[in-house]
Structure 1
Amino acid sequence: MTLHNLSKIALTLTAVLTFAACSDAPIVKPPALPASPLEFFQANGAPVQVKTIKVGTTPVKATFAGGTALTFAVGAVQDGSGNPYSGDVVLSVRVISTKSNMVLSNVLTVSNESPLVSGGMFFLDLKTPAGAALNINPAVGVGAAVPIVDNKPPVPGMDRPMQQFVGSSTTCATTGVTGVPTAGGAPIAAGDSSVNWCPVAGQFGIDNTTLPGSYVFSVFKKGWVNCDFFYNDPRPKTTLRVTFDAINDANTVLFLIPQSVNTVISLYTLDGPNKRKSYDNSLPIGLTAELVALTFNGGKQYLAYKTVTLSANQTENLTFNEATTAQIKAFLTPLN
């Protein structure tokens, strides 16, 4: 066999092997987009921060990204039977302080249909390293410090008595005692934020040792905790009605994000096909805000938005455009 023929055979084998190698290479598919608002919130909400501490004979402090700190005094933790617990504790905490994270987590700031202005919120869970549930000793509590981001009233002259609220899956009933949520009403409406906020009694202060300071208070129960005051805007109120493109009505969520106010309001009340409205006569006339909607259909997700200044009996129309998750986040972040 000639050298020329050997070269041709070698080239042919190389081509075959190269083709086979390319054919066997795994095909990497992009991750599927969320099929519903719930899947979107689960994938993009505030992350869970996990820390392990050891409780026992001395107080211990855990600080999380964003600056929220929890201090566990001696005797602050109990096992599932109510007995004192000493040893390793696995803390799972989600911190939400911005409007974009409120939307992405679907944890908004409403108490019995009344908007709240948030000074910061977090979710707290406690477990043993083996996964057994632990609880906060209600006779001791856990010290919490939430950094102050903005201490200015949204409207000049607005009363803003900051207090502690706890998350509930029901509407709030009567005023509670220290550390006990005032929940006890009806389940919150389907489609609203995943959390309704109920006020709790108890001391609430400000620590100015390190400026701009922190809200300080005690937590007596696991779950969602929020520093808020009621958005008692003195201006006359109105109802906002919104109509949007008919893509997938059941998979559509709407938010009103006021400018210069750390609150997000859900517009979930059905007002007809592809229509939503705010709570009746709940929004202050003259408020400037971003009206934002998300919808999901057929493996695609869509974003619609518009800047609005509220007037009496206002109606708005929204047009959706297909958007990636990165584009949605890029739009929301400057609204903080």
Structure 2
Amino acid sequence: MKNCSPLHAHLGHKHGVNQSLKTIFGTLFMTALLVTSCDPKDNNEDTTSNSEIEVTTPQEYKNIKEQALANHTQHFNFNAEDGSIMFTTTNGSQIHIDGNCLTLNGNAITGQVDLEYAELFDKGSMLTTNKPTMGVLPNGDKSLLISGGEFFIEATQNGILLDTNCPLQVTIPTSLTGGDDFDMTLWEGTIDENDNLTWQENNDAAGQNGVFLDGTLYNVFFASFGWNNVDRFYSDPRPKTTLLVSVPEGYDNLNSNVYLSYDGEDTGLANLDQYDPVTGLFTEHYGQIPIGLECQMIFATAHNGNWRYAIKSVTIAEDQTYTFEYSETIVATEAELTLLINGLP
């Protein structure tokens, strides 16, 4: 019989009056998913034993993450000679770009330009695209960021990347990310060889880049294309610890990820970006996890074009090792997994 205990832990423990609708909706959805996933007649039913693990290839996992990002990507076209242009995204954000500032190899361009744009406002979308919110501390360690919106912007002409010699602007309604927060600042994202995204705070000496709160809007100014983020560090005064996570045999940081969703935080997602091939363990070795933190620990990988995942509701204890068994995993579509993650406590 299928072990469905990881999902049972998600049907409670919501915080605050404002979470009531989310609790009802999330509970109904997850109950339906639980029933479907545990029905022996369902196509997603997984009765595979640990000795019969179907190991996902790194390419399969990369493909499913790229598809998720493509599903969040919008495309706009304009003429460079039109000068200053504004586009509105499907979520209501605004992109401001000046075609007169676009260059190719240092030279001004003319003609048609293709603009590619993606924005992520919830932890479900951050997980499926593998774009968590981990920021670099002054000492080089990494810790969770709470996001006011992360976005990618890129301009090309005939498939060739362009540069800009004047600031870009994105305006984000604060209603998309939980409301106004005066502590938000601008962060730039870099992706390493293992496809992990890390955020570095943008400390522009000239003061031209940054986040400015205007009523219910974040006005974000930045100097270059790529990944940018409106963020602040998660704050918790409790003592901190490291932790280790064991995943099913055959899985590592090339074909899977381990994430942490902090209870009560809807716009931040931590990930364990370090993996020890000798011990076979994912690790948070920075010592930034609060002891006593209630969170959801998530194992994620691909399965035949869908997602295979498992979720554990845990209270962080000092120097603990947590284990995911293959028999605990469930298969879901991208839409199902996104909704499930967004419905977590």
TM-score by length of 2: 0.69
State which of 172, 194, 197 in structure 1 corresponds to 2:196.
194
Distance 1:275 1:81, change over 3 A: closer
Question: Bigger relative contact order, structure 1 or 2, given CA contacts below 8 A and separation 6+?
Answer: 2
Residue in 1 aligned with 2:173? 147
Residue in 1 aligned with 2:293? 287
Q: Does 2:146 match 1:117? A: yes
Letter in 1 for 2:131: V
**Separation (CA, whole Å) in 1 of partners of 2:172 and 2:149:** 7
**Separation (CA, whole Å) in 1 of partners of 2:306 and 2:76:** 36
3-state SS of the aligned residue for 1:323? strand
Report deviation, 1:196. Answer: 1.6
Report deviation, 1:300. Answer: 8.6
Report deviation, 1:247. Answer: 4.7
- State the number of aligned residues: 270
- Correspondence 1:157-176 to 2 at 5 A: 161-169=183-191
Residue in 2 aligned with 1:92? 116
Report deviation, 1:86. Answer: 4.3
Distance 1:274 1:322, change over 3 A: farther
- Correspondence 1:225-240 to 2 at 5 A: 225-240=228-243
Report deviation, 1:323. Answer: 1.0
- CA offset digits 1:126-168 (Å, max 9, x no partner): 122x33332211xx21222122121377xxxxxx721111112
Q: CA RMSD in A?
A: 2.8
TM-score by length of 1: 0.71
Q: Does 2:270 match 1:265? A: yes
3-state SS of the aligned residue for 1:101? helix
Contact 2:56–2:255 under 8 Å retained in 1: no
3-state SS of the aligned residue for 1:216? strand
Letter in 2 for 1:106: N
Distance 1:56 1:288, change over 3 A: same
**Separation (CA, whole Å) in 2 of partners of 1:141 and 1:94:** 18
Residue in 2 aligned with 1:104? 128
Letter in 1 for 2:84: P
- CA offset digits 1:221-255 (Å, max 9, x no partner): 11111111122322211112222332534633211
Residue in 2 aligned with 1:133? 161
Distance 1:117 1:40, change over 3 A: same
Residue in 1 aligned with 2:37? none
Residue in 2 aligned with 1:221? 224
State which of 200, 206, 210 in structure 1 corresponds to 2:213.
206
Q: Percent identity?
A: 23
Which segments of 5 or more consecutive residues in structure 2 lack a partner in the other structure?
1-54, 137-141
Report deviation, 1:120. Answer: 0.3
Report deviation, 1:57. Answer: 5.6
Contact 1:99–1:335 under 8 Å retained in 2: no
Which segments of 5 or more consecutive residues in structure 1 lack a partner in the other structure?
1-32, 154-159, 170-187
Contact 1:247–1:295 under 8 Å retained in 2: no
Q: Which moved more, 1:288-297 or 1:258-267?
A: 288-297
Residue in 1 aligned with 2:12? none
Q: Which moved more, 1:247-256 or 1:213-222?
A: 247-256
Contact 1:35–1:298 under 8 Å retained in 2: no
Letter in 2 for 1:167: G
